[in-house]
Structure 1
Amino acid sequence: MTGPTAPAATWFARAYHEIKRDRHLLLYGNIDDLVLWNDTFQPMTAALPAFLCYVGFAAVARYDLVDGLKYADDGSQGFVESRLGAPAADPAVPVAQPETRRGAQLAESERELLARIGSAGRPVVIRALDMLHASRRLLDQRDRACAMVIDQADLIFGKAGEGEDQYQANLACLRKMITSGEHAPDVDGQPLRNVVVLLATRLSTLPDWVHCNNPHVAVIEIPHPSTTERADFLRGVLGGFHGGAELSPEEVGRLAGTLANLTDGMSILDIQALRATSRLAEIAPTKPRKLVLRHRFGLRDDPWEQLDMAKVVRAEEILSRRVIGQDTAVRTVADVLVNARIGVDFVADPDGSSTQPKGVFFFVGPTGVGKTELAKAIAELVFDDETALRRFDMSEFSQEHASERLTGAPPGFVGYENGGVLTNWMLERPFSVVLFDEIEKANPKIFDKFLQIIDDGRLTDGLGRTAHFSQAVVIFTSNLGASDLAPLMSGYPADAPPPYPVVQEHFRGAVAEYLAQSLGRPELLGRLGSGIVAFDILRADMIAKIVGKFLGQLGASAAARGYELIFDRRAIDKAVTDAVTGNGSALGARQIRSPLLEEWVRRPLNRWLIEHAPPPGSRLWVHRGKGSPPFVVDEFPAEDT
């Protein structure tokens, strides 16, 4: 035999050849899904026994912890039960010698099994250890080629079963089984080795000796269905979608291909559920993107689709109100938001899968110039909610194991059941802005996660859940190059700092050197491309605008309490500018609000108000004084009459 005549999943071919090489099988991964066998999608419980019968096994049995032994057909059942009914003296089942406590436990277990077999009219195998001893008999006989499928192997032999009384006995019996196995005639009379097939969801839960460099065991991953398999399945079920009965054969073929691209990473069972989503939401497959988004993210409104076009057109103006003096950064972000809203892109297939984030940025520049503020402004503009921003301080992820915090610990480790902080957030808030702050402080291993986010737009956590970033904006921030800014500044007069193109080249060069040389990840540099946005240094005109912003907030707050504030703007602007530029702008714009305006204006103002209790409607003058703090508050002089 060379293979089935009808289409089947590709992993069956490898399993076929490994069995012919006399190896037992360990199948893991997407084992709970429907699999393609003989041109139909079937549960693994049906497809795998059918495959083993096709290979040539004359008797096929399957075991799980709930149902015990099941059989591929009546012939298999008759043969297996006849072997289980063998007399107790059968040398194929040697009774363990009670030389040790463990040996005594094994001997007692086997004696109990044989007693049950001798007293029962029809053998019934429920306990795992019963099944293992029965399997040894089948593997060691030479009358008929047999295959034993053990489902839920991770529960029987994995870490979850360590507390069970028979756990060590189960492992000992499994080791015996996979190192043995006689040859027996197959359905055509040709010799075929008796095999055991283990099914598990994850390899990591099983003992290493089962799957690591074990010459007796072939480890085969059961992948999620391919694009071709998804398209084949969709062609058969599209008629059951909302409005699907009205589709022509040509439309069915075209839409099946489109949905197959959009459902990358989904199982066949997920796609079955997609049909239910289509009916419940009354979304026809003729709107494939809308249907898949509804299925993945539920009854959430898509803020990208609802983003007002007029708002997008004015994005640069809106963002500039919060981030002052960073015209290039604001313009770059606004352009990306326009691209995300309109959707025209470099794609071979306009209906293809769009899994990458809506925007990926690398904000780099001095501290306190608006990098985080721009991220908040994006969240407010797109999602009408500044809390849609989630900030991750990468200084907290500097240790080698820190990447596990993002996606969750592997199965069996402490905290595994909690998932990861990043994947949990994205599962809860897929429409959001994700900010990775001070990225240069992260452990280098975390950059593998970042590359996966940028390329694939998804991460899978330790619980097996997939978080999608396709509706998010991802932002990295960094101060790379800021510590080397002083030598650059020293080459220019104090009143004429370097122009923005020089500053931009400096910071972009610092990022390129870090990613390509220090980190050794040039591919990440290539992925970011035009998303690397250099923020300008603070300049005198920028400082004055920021001062005006904060003074405007103070004025509005005072007006709400019945007072009119009049500021000596020239004096305040000069004092703040001198203070900020005097230290080389090391603290950025943060120092403008606190401590400068906090100590010079806000505190004296509130102190004066509580001491003088002016009546509502009073006009107050904040101006230069002679002491400390440098600004004082007085009632505004009355106008000459």
Structure 2
Amino acid sequence: MGTLSAPRGAPWLVRAYHELQRRRHLVIHGNVDDLVRWHDRYQPFTDTLTDFLAVAGFDVIVRYNMVDGLTYHDDASRDFVRHQLSDNTRPPRARPRRDGVITSADLLEQQLLAAGQAQPRTPVDVLALTLRLMSQPERPCVVVIESADLIVGPAAELSADRVTQLAYVRRLLASGAAAPPGEQRHHNTVVFVVRDLGELPAWLRRDNPHVATVLADRPGIAERAAFLRENLSAYHQADVLTAEARDNAVRVLANLTDGMTIVDIGALSVTSQVALIPPSMPRRLVARHRFGLRDDPWEQLDLAKITSAEELLSRRVIGQLPAVRAVTDVLVNARVGLDFVSDGQQAGTRPKGVFFFVGPTGVGKTELAKALAELVFDDESALRRFDMSEYSEEHASERLTGAPPGFVGHDHGGTLTNWVLDRPFSVLLFDEIDKAHEKILDKFLQIIDDGRLTDGQGRTAYFTHSLVIFTSNIGAGDLRRTFSDPAMSYEAIKEHFNQAVADFFTTRLRRPELLGRLGSGIVVFDLLRENVIVDICDKFLDQIVTAAQARGYDLAFDRAAIGRAVVDEVTRHGAALGARQIRSPLLEQWVRIPLNRWILEHQPPPGTRIFVHRTDTSPPFVIDALSGSS
């Protein structure tokens, strides 16, 4: 890969120049607090903007913010504005009608002009002056209003002059004389600068023929590479790198810093020096800088825990050994770290693992995801579940990444991106993915391929350290009709569900590329076999025994009878319905409720031995105190 050729200036400046040629006022939003490339160097946004406007052909450049008041690009601009303030030779305006907001603007402008040499300080004063500058034909003039949301956005609602300020801005948008007359290239212009476009009124930022919005993007890969190349000498041990190693470090860092500002990328050198991480270890450096961690927690997984992971997971998810082995393999891969890459530093852009759990309902798909979160992070809350049946509408995708600028909810961000930004080390469970709108799958395609997703505010969430799990019951509806024989092998079940998944992506969605991305990540869960049903039943009975021991009771079950009754009931309705019915309603109604009622009625003392068994009328089962108990 050759060296990237950096632009002399930020690309968004080209868009701004074209809009100026179309004689439009500008709203510049987005990355307005960063350093911006201009003439092969990086400088503050405000300096770059004024330099750009001078090159664009404006003779008078004025800036305003509520802290510094009016500032000027040069002395000539200051002198011209003072001349406009002291110029009382213009003929007076006709007295305006008093039937709208324009009347208030005209009257306030007359009051300001009567003030002579008064220095404009308040927003109303400055807007009145701006209106006069926009109307003069002598010299091309531009006024830059910084933090425009403080003047016309929600932050200005508490101001007594808010209505007047809005009136002026409306007037300004329709003004702007050519200066000098006949010079079509120049047009007196107002430039509004705001970080969040949604903070401005809709009439200003959308569907206004006099205004163009320009997004000041975060730096592209060529800009990032140029900045890194120029500043690499400030990194730890950069002076010992060969030219080839420096080029490789710049290339990888430029890719890894996607979505970061120039200011943030500049701080990488500080992290490098403090953490003693050279640029030849770019992934470790960026991970330390972004997450504040010395080591990747996946790489720090306890070896003994990984070795026994299959056994630990099988205790919680009974009878699903193929699925347990599949996720265990992910833990092994994450701990060792070998991957299909061209060099050792290229690994790690995709999620740690991507799975598509498919099978009958209630067989342990969600439980396995919970168990995995607890095993890796010692915290089941590290799992974030998204019910994809709530995302069946096309517009629902905005809930995951946040509404775009200018729309309701933009400032809240997305539920998915917010979670990953806060907890990049987590398990993400997208439950019943087949119920989501097909357009949402495009976002998952980006996660699987690139390991990142950008929200509506321009922030990039990285899924590099996450485990992504999709679940689905595709094909389960045909299961009872297709497999009436309970002895049907797991291989037959696996073939059925694999075919159902393939048909879903290729025939129903016509998105075979999604199927290809999943690859070996498709994990089929088996039916509940009779022995598995008994084991699950025993697991729940053990939990009741533990709860009874905590209250001083010695509890015993006729496990064979209870297990047989549960198996008969589950298989009578079809094992394809899953294990949820085992605990509730079966064991809930047959064992737990009768047992609690018996204890409440008999008030047995601690140490009592209690036996739960069947009679001719069971279920529900009968509870008795065994003789000889205290």
Residue in structure 2 matching 1:499, options 489, 505, 509: 489
> 1:356 is paired with a residue of what secondary structure?
coil
The answer as to 2:529 corresponding to 1:534 is no
Deviation string, structure 1 residues 514-543 (Cα, Å, up to 9, x no partner): 445545655544433332322211122322
The answer as to 2:336 corresponding to 1:342 is yes
- Please tell me whether the aligned partners of residues 268 and 289 of structure 2 are also in contact (alpha carbons under 8 angstroms): yes
Change (3 A) 1:27 1:523: farther
The answer as to 2:140 corresponding to 1:145 is yes
Change (3 A) 1:33 1:86: same
Change (3 A) 1:569 1:99: closer
Which shifted more, 544-553 or 208-217? 208-217
Matches within 5 A, 1:303-318: 303-318=297-312
Change (3 A) 1:102 1:147: closer
Question: Structure 1: 5+ residue runs without aligned partners?
Answer: none
TM-superposed deviation, 1:312 = 2.6
The answer as to 2:179 corresponding to 1:182 is yes
Query: Take 2:232 and 2:517, find their aligned partners in 1: how far apart are those partners?
Result: 37
> 1:471 is paired with a residue of what secondary structure?
coil
Change (3 A) 1:222 1:191: closer
Which shifted more, 70-79 or 145-154? 145-154
TM-superposed deviation, 1:110 = 0.6
Deviation string, structure 1 residues 69-94 (Cα, Å, up to 9, x no partner): 22222223223332333226257xx5
Deviation string, structure 1 residues 181-216 (Cα, Å, up to 9, x no partner): 334799xxx964444433333444445565556665
AA matched with 1:134: L
Residue in structure 1 matching 2:430, options 425, 436, 454: 436
TM-superposed deviation, 1:378 = 0.8
- Please tell me whether the aligned partners of residues 433 and 474 of structure 1 are also in contact (alpha carbons under 8 angstroms): yes
Matches within 5 A, 1:132-281: 132-158=127-153, 161=156, 164-177=162-175, 180-183=177-180, 192-207=186-201, 210=204, 212=206, 217-243=211-237, 251-281=245-275
Identity, % of aligned positions: 56
Residue in structure 1 matching 2:537, options 540, 544, 547: 547
Query: Take 2:603 and 2:137, find their aligned partners in 1: how far apart are those partners?
Result: 106
Q: What TM-score, normalized by structure 2, do the two folds share?
A: 0.85
TM-superposed deviation, 1:321 = 2.0
Deviation string, structure 1 residues 397-434 (Cα, Å, up to 9, x no partner): 45665444444556677666554443443333221112
Query: Take 2:14 and 2:414, find their aligned partners in 1: how far apart are those partners?
Result: 36
Change (3 A) 1:508 1:205: farther
Matches within 5 A, 1:89-488: 89=90, 94=93, 97-116=96-115, 118-120=116-118, 124-158=119-153, 161=156, 164-177=162-175, 180-183=177-180, 192-207=186-201, 210=204, 212=206, 217-243=211-237, 251-299=245-293, 302-348=296-342, 350-352=344-346, 354-398=348-392, 402-408=396-402, 418-443=412-437, 446-461=440-455, 465-488=459-482
> 1:304 is paired with a residue of what secondary structure?
coil
Question: Structure 2: 5+ residue runs without aligned partners?
Answer: 1-5
Q: What TM-score, normalized by structure 1, do the two folds share?
A: 0.83
- Please tell me whether the aligned partners of residues 86 and 117 of structure 2 are also in contact (alpha carbons under 8 angstroms): no
TM-superposed deviation, 1:42 = 0.6
Q: Which residue of 2 aligns with 1:48?
A: 49
Change (3 A) 1:20 1:255: same
Aligned CA-pair RMSD: 3.8
Query: Take 1:477 and 1:267, find their aligned partners in 2: how far apart are those partners?
Result: 36
TM-superposed deviation, 1:436 = 2.4
- Please tell me whether the aligned partners of residues 356 and 455 of structure 1 are also in contact (alpha carbons under 8 angstroms): yes
Query: Take 1:6 and 1:381, find their aligned partners in 2: how far apart are those partners?
Result: 48
AA matched with 2:420: M
The answer as to 2:628 corresponding to 1:627 is no
Query: Take 2:565 and 2:187, find their aligned partners in 1: how far apart are those partners?
Result: 89
Change (3 A) 1:422 1:273: same
> 1:165 is paired with a residue of what secondary structure?
helix
> 2:71 is paired with a residue of what secondary structure?
strand
Query: Take 2:595 and 2:213, find their aligned partners in 1: how far apart are those partners?
Result: 74
AA matched with 1:67: D
Q: Which residue of 2 aligns with 1:584?
A: 574
Change (3 A) 1:560 1:100: closer
Query: Take 2:533 and 2:234, find their aligned partners in 1: how far apart are those partners?
Result: 63
AA matched with 1:489: F
Change (3 A) 1:450 1:90: farther
AA matched with 1:145: P
Aligned residues: 619
